[in-house]
């Protein structure tokens, strides 16, 4: 199977689904859909599709291999080892499976070693704190007027709003996008925080908020127009934050009395975006 281009993954998934709706007994289609789900990072669904392919054809090598990769992605190496051994049982000369099995067994030994050296008798910190609170060891002060959980211990919208209102202003240093397959969702959440709490959330432009970084994902999920809108919004983000009148944060560029020069201006912008933690205050 030749995998489709990244921009076509979702379209391919829909086509495979439509095919399975007409004929749910084709293991090749189930396995191919599992491969697309792997690319979309839908690992649990990939496991389900590969498992269905194996039910229909217990000797389907690609389905075992794809299920192994999906198990690895969700940190379940034992399941991956079982499937990779099955691949080698069916195809003893499968070089990819051999290499992946060696790497997975090393990972499994490492995880087992870490589990062995950790203290099994030690009570988890979260359980200690829960027990202390239940015993009243750390009571709230009488004049406390801050956020409170509901009686059932679950957070409510009012609790979250009250908690955020009490927080100090938070500055995000840029590089919101080009971080895996969910850059759009991450940056939209940050924009929502800025919109909801304009005096609490501050977003600086980093070196990843450029014209080309988010293009593929945005055009694939939404449209060219949406990508162009992101590009425009990124240019509106500030490059720096002034911590105080005498305390710039990050890289400081040499002062200059030169008149405006477009080339030098672009260099300054680029260096500012690459300054410390992508959020420096830059003096020019």
Which residues are identified as catalytic?
A: 208
Residue 208 per-residue DSSP state: T
Stated as kind and residue range, the H or E segment containing 247 is strand 247-248
The pair of structure tokens assigned to 98 is: 């051999």
- Burial of residue 117 (CB within 10 Å: 0-12, 13-18, 19+) is exposed
The pair of structure tokens assigned to 149 is: 């959980």
CA distance 265 to 263: 5
Is the distance from CB of 1 to CB of 32 less than 8 angstroms? yes
Is the distance from CB of 37 to CB of 68 less than 8 angstroms? no
CA distance 70 to 269: 41
């Amino acid at each position: 199977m030749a995998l489709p281009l990244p921009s076509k993954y979702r379209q391919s998934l829909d086509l495979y689904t439509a095919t399975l709706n007409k004929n749910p007994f084709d293991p090749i289609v189930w396995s191919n859909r599992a491969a697309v789900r792997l690319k979309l990072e839908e690992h649990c669904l990939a496991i389900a599709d590969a498992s269905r392919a194996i039910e229909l054809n217990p000797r389907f090598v690609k389905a075992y291999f794809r299920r192994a990769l999906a198990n690895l992605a969700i940190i379940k190496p034992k399941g991956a080892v079982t499937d990779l051994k099955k691949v080698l049982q069916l195809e003893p000369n499968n070089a990819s499976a051999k290499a992946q099995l060696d790497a997975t067994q090393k990972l499994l030994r490492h995880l087992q070693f870490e589990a062995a050296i950790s203290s099994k008798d030690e009570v988890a910190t979260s359980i200690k704190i829960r027990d202390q609170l239940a015993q009243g060891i750390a009571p709230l002060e009488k004049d406390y007027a801050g956020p409170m959980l509901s009686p059932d211990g679950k957070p409510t919208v009012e609790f979250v709003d009250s908690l955020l209102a009490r927080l100090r202003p938070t500055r995000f240093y840029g590089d919101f996008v080009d971080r895996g397959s969910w850059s759009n969702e991450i940056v939209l959440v940050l924009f929502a925080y800025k919109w909801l709490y304009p005096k609490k959330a501050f977003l600086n432009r980093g070196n990843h908020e450029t014209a080309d970084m988010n293009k593929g994902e945005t055009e694939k999920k939404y449209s060219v127009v949406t990508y162009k809108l992101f590009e425009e919004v990124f240019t509106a983000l500030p490059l720096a934050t002034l911590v105080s009148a005498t305390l710039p944060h990050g890289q400081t560029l040499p002062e200059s009395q030169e008149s405006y020069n477009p080339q030098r201006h672009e260099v300054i912008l680029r260096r500012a975006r690459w300054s410390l933690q992508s959020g420096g205050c830059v003096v020019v």
